[in-house]
Amino acid sequence: MNTIHSSYLKDLRVSSVHEKSGSTLETDAPVDNNGKGTRFSPTDLVATAYLNCLITVIGIYCDKNGIRFEACEGQVEKIMRNNPRRIGALKINLDFGKTEWTEKQKKVIENVAKSCPVAKSVAADIEVTIQFIYG
């Protein structure tokens, strides 16, 4: 079980510690929601988690299946909605550079990515588009 401990610092900042590793991070409310925007916001972390989970499950799949996976650059754009305030859309680009994957491997890897745990955990009304870019 992964346990995370969080403490309110002040000025809309929160510090969190990952119990097992001791790794820490701080969040800040975004400028458009009364914060200073000097750290990742909680919704930025959701967007980042989605992107990083896609890349991670691709790595796991490739490792288990003897497929070379040496590079991936990802980008996620988070689009907020109001009434209620929430993440409305995530636009994700995954650039694999010049991979040597076959078309069949690409299709399987894309399906694996889309079934990552974070993808299965976010609200169904968040519009997610993922662009897979190959050299």
User: Model pTM?
Assistant: 0.94
Q: Give the angle 91-94-100 at the CA atoms, nearest 5°.
A: 155
Which pLDDT tens digit goes with each residue over 54-86? 999 999 999 999 999 999 999 999 999 999 999
List the beta bridge partners of residue 90: 78, 128
Backbone φ, ψ for residue 120 (5° rounding) = -80, -5
Backbone φ, ψ for residue 8 (5° rounding) = -75, 125
Which pLDDT tens digit goes with each residue over 93-111? 999 998 899 999 999 999 9
Alpha carbon distance 27, 14 (integer Å): 5
